[in-house]
Structure 1
Amino acid sequence: MRLTKLHTKNYTELSGGYQLVIPFNLEMVIPEDDSVRLLSHILEGLNFSKLYQTYSSTGRKPAVEPKILFKVITYAYMNNIYSSRKIETACKRDINFMWLLEGNPAPDHSTIARFRKQYLDNAAEELFYQVIEHLHQVGEISYENLFIDGTKIEANANRYTFVWKKVVTKNEEKMFLRINSLIKDMNDAYETDFTVTKKNILDDLKAVLEYLETKRQNEQITFVHGPGKRKSKLQKFIEQLQDFFNRQQKYITHKKYLEGRNSYSKTDTDATFMRMKDDHMQNSQLKPAYNVQIGVESEYVTTLGIFQDRSDTNTLIPLLNDMETKINTRYENIIADAGYESEENYIYLEEKGYTYYIKPQTYEQSKKRSFKNNISKRENMAYDSELDQYTCHNNKKLTPVGTTYRKSVTGYRSEITIYECEKCSDCPYKTNCTKSVSNRKMYVSKTFIEKRQESYKNISSERGILLRMNRSIQAFGVLKTDYQFNRFLTRGKASVKNEFILLCLGYNINKLHAKIQNKRVGKHLHELITA
């Protein structure tokens, strides 16, 4: 094929003499009220010393100044640009990005990805909380009402790389029986007395393999491989035990990653398989994901956490503890939904001096007629606090007959009082009340009921209604829906947290910009509109 001028790599040769006129100063092009100016102003006032400490004092200079690169990436997250390649393209084509670069050459995608993954580990969170402190100083955050919620965001891991705790435990147990059977055959064959225990399984297998290897060398037995070759009994023992040894090492690695959870992904070992409601039918799909928790005040994200728990219950305490160490202060009110209700959380919030507004798990159900007509529910039984007894639908008394204790995953110990009905044998309502053959028993945590009632009182108050209304219009749905952030790009809990910090930082600056433009600065709560 004959090459023509059209096939040249240099497209400037194709132009017809068109001259692009651009002002020498980009300040003239960018509007005065553009959010990029606000971003640059806020980040310029931060202390970047911790970020610069991650760079070596020797060696070549970074391609782009770290502070400038942080501005660029944060502005990208403000505008729903998350891919390092798309950020690189924006730096070459978008005037706002060029303005932030201050004349520096556009960073390539590898520089951006390396900066996000390696250099932000120790600095991103500190810079985020510096912005939170700035918002507090300008009166946008008062540390009064903290609205907490969580969501699941898909991890950057393959969907079918799951490892299940039950499967690992089951296969390990089956293999242990096979090992003992093989050791018994070996002891019978060589008149030895080796044993393998679960506690020291690797050491025991290693000792057996060393004995067999010494025996092979002494007897000068040559191992054979391939079709048509007959393996000796010694070779079979060694190969099978070596296979068991290797598999046991894998099981130990699996159990290390599975500590405190029931699954993980092979391609991102920090990710847990969770139910994700992805499609419009809200059908749950099992995918590797992280449980992302955020605390919001005045529509700003003021604290965040990345967790491997599938439920929200056990994330509240570590989230608040981490927040207190970062901002060195404490909120007055904690507002959360029913997913955070537990006796442990109630006790923690009370001991810390928080006023809690947590919706009870039975709050919505208790409004239904079916719940009110269910005679088996404790809530529908009369309770005498002086005699400490319940009265059932048939006017029979349920009195305390014992006490038991329940231990949560986190180690919290709850006291449970056991109530038993005096006589259920001839009760005409028994089939609607209990499935037990004997008398009806009811397990009740008095502490939990007391704290739940207090929380119910709080959310039912005028203040509680106002806070619950405001909770429904905070930032929780915006980050996934409006910002279209549905999947992390990095792997590992630390890198994922850095990525989410950038998203929340960009969101906060966008929110401040919107409040300034709409003249809503200083307003912390939306007023409750009544008919």
Structure 2
Amino acid sequence: MNDVYSSRDIEKACRRDINFKWLLQGQKVPDHNTIARFRNGRLKGILEGLFSQLIVKLGELGEIQYENIFIDGTKIEAYANKYTFVWKKTTLKNEQKLQEKARAFLLKLNQEIKTGIPLGESAITVETLQKYIVFLKEKQQAEKIEFVSGKGKRKTNLQRATETLKEFLEKQTKYDRYNELFDGRNSFSKTDTDATFMHMKEDHMRNSQLKPGYNVQIGVEAEYIVGLAISSERSDQLTLISFLDKLIENLPQKYHKVIADAGYESEENYVYLEKQGLKPFIKPQTYEVMKKKSFSKIIGKRENMVYDSVNDEYLCANHKKLVVVGKATRTSKSGYKSVVTLYECESCEGCSFKKQCTKAAGNKKLSVSKLFLEKRSESLNNITSTEGILLRMNRSIQVEGAFGVLKEDHSFRRFVMRGKKNVETEFLLLSFGFNINKLHNKIQQDRCGHSLHKIEVA
């Protein structure tokens, strides 16, 4: 509530600030280590439940109606070194080099020394390397060969082979750990392995530098934060379902309408909302572009072609038909499978519009998910209705306004704790303070019970 985030600053405030002293009621000032341990340990498992109780209380006070939830996300920098990055592409490349080098070495070793350990065609694992090291150690003991070190000492071939295998083992163990930590991501930070490298809006050097951070998702109703989730996923699109699942689990009632921006649009999300009985107010990704006059001149776009629903055909600018040539199944990053219909022009040969229409060497092709277009059309109708216009305006005021208050007014731009669970605890505390301040302000301004801002005409 008072923009004091670090445990040392809280301890200092308890010694100097009269308000904090009053809260202590004459008790001994806690040490900053005590505050940090309490926050890291005791709060980690119970704070989410306490936050849900606060939302239920706001509902009992008539502040929350469980009607409209406005969802948005922002990226906040992690408490991690910007230069301790690990990239998946580099890791896989180096691991492949190690595998080739280790295989060649073990094949040579098997020729020189009959180890009897099967190598196989699959990848060389940590267990395989450990078996070879054990074999060489037993051979060393049996032949009573002494391993030496230091200047002027000459190592035997057996010692050199053992040291090489230990080096391979160390590297392969590291790569196995890295691959486990990636967990579907392309990067992580060594100082906070749950943090992913992302583009931040706060880019003081203006060079699109990637920084370790978290994708923070919040749901807002009546200007109160009613739910939150911390994600290592850079895309908002892949966070919606897990966020709403968590919200449904924690709150006593289910929301009726979900209002979100274009970053959350996908067929998977639309299907999920329909199954949950939630009405979507999601802006299509092409919404702003389609309003421009220049968009109608792009003849290669599906939206600018005439569709014949009876014959299931598209008609291009040159009055040629794009007919169905088959269907395909596409799998998203989350594992969702979408069925798309494939269309191809009957003939683009000699067409004067071809350069404007397609870059393909052959005929113009389209891939269309009919289910996605149907759900997008429903959401478009929702957001362009009178109710939808009001809710879209409130989304920009309420949820984006909440992030604006937290990042600008409360100067919260970087976490002070590490690890996903600790970061979630930290942001829950911040949301607690935000909601209590918001309730106080609404009482002072006599705005209690008002959940939506009305459209005002200048």
Q: Which residue does 1:488 correspond to in 2? A: 415
Give the structure, 1 or 2, with the largest relative contact order (CA under 8 Å, sep 6 or more): 2
Match in the other structure for 1:180: 103
For structure 1, which segment, 191-200 or 144-153, has the greater mean C-alpha deviation from structure 2 after superposition? 191-200
Native 8 Å contact 1:196 1:205 kept in 2? no
Equivalent position amino acid for 1:465 in 2:
I
SS at match of 1:491: coil
1:413-467: CA deviation from partner (whole Å, max 9, x where unpaired) = 0001110000001110111111111111111111111111111111000000000
Question: What is the CA distance between 1:192 and its match in structure 2?
Answer: 4.6
Of 151, 160, 164, which residue of structure 1 is paired with 2:83?
A: 160
Identity of aligned residues (%): 55
Which of 237, 250, 265 aligns to 1:326? It is 250
- Separation of aligned partners in 1, 2:370 and 2:415: 43
Task: Give the RMSD, CA atoms, in angstroms.
Answer: 1.4
Partner of 1:526: 453
Distance 2:173 2:380 in 1: 51
Residue 9 (structure 2) aligns with: 86
2:294 to 370, 377, 390: 370
Given that 2:222 and 2:452 are in contact with CA atoms closer than 8 Å, whether structure 1 keeps it comes out as yes
Q: Give the unaligned 5+ runs of structure 1.
A: 1-77
2:424 maps to a residue whose letter is: K
Higher alpha-carbon deviation: 435-444 or 296-305: 435-444
In 2, distance between residues paired with 1:200 and 1:166?
A: 19
Confirm whether residue 316 of structure 1 aligns to residue 240 of structure 2.
Answer: yes
Larger Rg: 1
Q: Which amino acid aligns with 1:428?
A: S
Structure 1 distance, partners of 2:36, 2:113, is 59
Counterpart residue type for residue 17 of structure 2:
D
**Which amino acid is the alignment partner of residue 28 of structure 2?**
P
Q: Aligned pair 1:235/2:162, yes or no? A: no
Does residue 278 of structure 2 align to residue 354 of structure 1? yes
2:99 and 2:207 map into 1 onto residues whose CA distance is 39
How does 1:405-420 map onto structure 2 within 5 Å? Answer: 405-420=329-344
1:502 and 2:429 correspond: yes
- CA offset digits 1:493-523 (Å, max 9, x no partner): 1111010000001000100111000011100
The one-letter code of the counterpart of 1:386 is V
Please report how far the alpha carbon of residue 349 of structure 1 lies from its aligned counterpart in structure 2 after TM superposition.
Answer: 0.3
What SS does structure 1 have at the residue aligned with 2:132? helix
Deviations 1:393-419 (A, max 9, x none): 111110110111111121110001110
AA matched with 1:508: N
Deviation at 1:329, TM superposition (A): 1.6
Q: Deviations over 1:235-284 (max 9, x none)?
A: 11111111101111111111111112111111111111111121468653
Which residue identity lines up with residue 285 of structure 1 in the other structure?
Q
2:51 is aligned with 1:128: yes
* Secondary structure of 1:273 counterpart: strand
What residue in structure 2 maps to residue 302 of structure 1? 226
**Matched position secondary structure for 2:193:** coil
Partners of 1:218 and 1:484 in 2: how far apart?
67
Which residue identity is paired with 2:29? A
Matched, 1:253 2:177: yes
1:103 and 2:26 matched? yes
Residue identity matched to 2:26: G
Q: How many Å apart are 1:197 and its aligned residue?
A: 5.0
Alignment coverage as a number of residue pairs: 454
Structure 2: 5+ residue stretches without partners: none
CA deviations 1:101-136 (Å, max 9, x no partner) are 222122221111111111101111111111111100
SS at match of 1:284: coil
Alignment partner of 2:440 out of 503, 508, 513: 513
Which segment drifts farther, 441-450 or 278-287?
278-287
Contact 2:341 2:369 in 1 (8 A): yes
Q: TM-score, normalising length from structure 1?
A: 0.83
Answer yes or no: is the 8 Å Cα contact 2:71–2:258 preserved in 1. yes
TM-superposed CA distance for 1:226, in Å, is 2.7
Tell me how far apart the structure 2 counterparts of residues 187 and 107 of structure 1 sit (CA, whole Å): 64
Alpha-carbon distance between aligned partners in 1 of 2:302 and 2:7, rounded to the nearest angstrom: 56
Determine the structure 2 residue equivalent to 1:265: 189
Mapped to 2, the partners of 1:328 and 1:525 lie a distance apart of: 22
Does structure 1 conserve the Cα–Cα contact (< 8 Å) formed by 2:75 and 2:216? yes
Alpha-carbon deviation of 1:227?
A: 3.4
Aligned counterparts of 2:274 and 2:419: Cα–Cα separation in 1 = 34
Normalization by structure 2: what TM-score?
Answer: 0.96
Mapped contact 1:297–1:524 kept (Cα < 8 A): yes
Please state how far the C-alpha of 1:191 moved relative to its aligned partner: 4.1
| Aligned residue identity for 2:192 | D
Partner secondary structure for residue 3 of structure 2: coil
